[in-house]
Amino acid sequence: MQNTLQWYPGHMAKTRRLIEDNLKMIDVVVEILDARIPFSGRNPNFDDIIRNKPRLLVMNKADLADRRKTDMWIEWYRQRNITVIPISCTTGMGINKVLSAARELVRERIERDAEKGRTRTLKLMMVGIPNVGKSSLINRLLGKASTKTGDKPGVTKGKQWLRIRGDAELLDTPGILPPKFEDQELAKRLAYTGAIRDEIMNTELLAYSLCDYLRDEYPDELISRYKLKDDISGMKGYEILTLIGRRRGFVISGGEVDTERAANMVLDELRAAKIGNITLETPEFM
Ligand SMILES: Nc1nc2c(ncn2[C@@H]2O[C@H](COP(=O)(O)OP(=O)(O)OP(=O)(O)O)[C@@H](O)[C@H]2O)c(=O)[nH]1
Ligand SMILES: [Mg+2]
């Protein structure tokens, strides 16, 4: 990992302005989180940008996350009077709750309009860090692929208005991250899920940390996926990754393990949930 992850691509500053400029015509902001990092995957700047606008939180990619921890995070947010809806754009789980929950947040306004004989077109703006599934959620709500999605951050470039079923309009926005990361652990979690491009990270160091985490939180999944025979409980992340590389036959001349190849493989397999349903952070309850 670079010593201090300090960066802010120009398009993210532009997106911030895009969100701010469109906010006044929006009824509800839908903030999309990745269920595998329901805390680290929130951009703290959204509080400044969105301010008092009604906001709905959805935790997408629940199909990839650890169900038990998803429930813990829902409870953690509930204790803070925040409702989070777990959804999956892949399986369709929870999608039908999104619009009704958003309407509920502005019910009084909808009712006032109805009294005046006006039907209100609900205007929603999707925001979130890169790669969480903002465009996928729009496609799901529309029932068709109307906006481009992709398994890397930075797919959506400009803004895009899309209408659904005549009674709602959706605005897609590109993902944005905070300008800098004070907390390296948080930056790593973003990278594990693919919210930060691998190119700006040291993937080997990233995979070492991931192996440390999996050893403590998901040892059975790790052992079974890579058929590890040794006792990994006292091992360091890099030792575990070396073992994994050896099991997979990633050996270079001289019998050394190609840890870079092993690192990329483990990260890919984590992202595809091949190691298991893994959530990368656990809430702390007071
Ligand atoms: N397993 C799983 N994958 C999902 C889900 N939702 C989206 N994806 C995948 O995640 C990747 C990113 O989805 P996008 O919809 O492009 O994400 P985005 O937030 O619009 O990304 P940017 O526009 O780059 O900020 C794609 O490969 C999607 O297929 C989900 O619920 N489960
Ligand atoms: Mg997008």
pLDDT in tens, the chain (286 residues): 444 445 667 788 888 999 999 999 999 999 999 999 999 999 999 999 999 999 999 999 999 999 999 999 999 999 999 999 999 999 999 999 999 999 999 999 999 999 999 888 899 999 999 999 999 999 999 887 777 888 888 777 776 677 676 788 999 999 998 878 888 899 999 999 988 887 778 999 999 999 999 999 999 999 999 999 989 999 999 999 999 999 999 999 899 999 999 999 999 999 999 999 999 999 998 7
What radius of gyration do the chain's Cα atoms show?
21
Tokens of 278: 């893994």
Is 43's C-beta closer than 6 angstroms to any atom of ligand 1? no
Vertex 69, ends 64 and 71: CA angle to 5°?
A: 100
Separation of CA 132 and ligand 1 centre (Å): 5
Domain with CATH 3.40.50.300 in the chain: 10-172
Closest CA to 130 of 153, 151, 112, 110: 153
Report the pLDDT value the prediction gives residue 12, as an integer from 0 to 100. 83
Closest CA to 277 of 76, 131, 90, 63: 63
Distance in angstroms (rounded) separating the CA atoms of residues 104 and 96: 13
Report the pLDDT value the prediction gives residue 6, as an integer from 0 to 100. 53
Report the pLDDT value the prediction gives residue 108, as an integer from 0 to 100. 94
Report the pLDDT value the prediction gives residue 200, as an integer from 0 to 100. 74
> In CATH terms, is domain 202-271 a member of 1.10.1040.10?
no
Ligand number nearest to the C-alpha of 89: 1
The highest-level CATH class for domain 10-172 is: alpha beta
Tokens of 258: 């190609």
Ligand 1 pocket mutation pick from 14, 46, 89, 269 by most atoms within 8 angstroms of CB? 89
CA distances from 209 to 192, 231, 275 (A): 10, 18, 15
Residue minimizing CA distance to atom 30 of ligand 1: 61
Separation of CA 4 and ligand 1 centre (Å): 27
Residue 43: partners with Cβ closer than 8 Å, 6 or more residues away: 128, 129, 176, 177, 178
Is 174's C-beta closer than 6 angstroms to any atom of ligand 1? yes
Residue minimizing CA distance to atom 2 of ligand 1: 61
Residue minimizing CA distance to atom 14 of ligand 1: 133
Closest CA to 154 of 179, 176, 136: 176
Atom nearest to 137 CA in ligand 1: 15
Domain with CATH 1.10.1580.10 in the chain: 202-271
Is 173's C-beta closer than 6 angstroms to any atom of ligand 1? no
Distance in angstroms (rounded) separating the CA atoms of residues 21 and 181: 26
